Structure 1
Amino acid sequence: MIDAKQAAAALRLPYYWFADHAMRTKYRIPHYLMGGLVRYRLSELSAWAARSAAVQGRDAQDADAPVEGAE
């Protein structure tokens, strides 16, 4: 289990995404509360990051696709 600083460093993402409850909720970051401390499993974060990147890539492709009927 790792803390917010370690999670941010491992994934090269902003620290506040992991430290702030609202951001963890917004981005649906998998985490565990342990005695008032927030901890993460690196394997779950890696899977989450891969899923998030795939969704963002798909959304970007959809945005670039031509709209039917538009000229």
Structure 2
Amino acid sequence: MEKLARVRRAERRIVKVQRRVWLAQVLLWPAIVVGAVLSVGTLVWFLRRPSSGGRHEMPDLPGAHETQP
């Protein structure tokens, strides 16, 4: 009978470990998806933001950008 009890305990331990592995796998995929979405969003944000070099707004008043002698 003692041997049977040891087998049952071992089975319960295995089931517990399998349940934890399954839970870790289930939680891993949403984390990967969220990380990928954030990475792509950050990349798109960096590529689409206006660059400050070379372009500027013209002043509102005509001739304001010209230097006066």
Name the TM-score class by shorter chain.
0.3 to 0.5
Which structure carries more strand by proportion?
A: 1
Larger RCO, structures 1/2 (Cα 8 Å, 6+ apart): 1
Tell me the TM-score normalized by structure 2.
Answer: 0.40
Which structure carries more helix by proportion?
A: 2
Tell me the TM-score normalized by structure 1.
Answer: 0.39
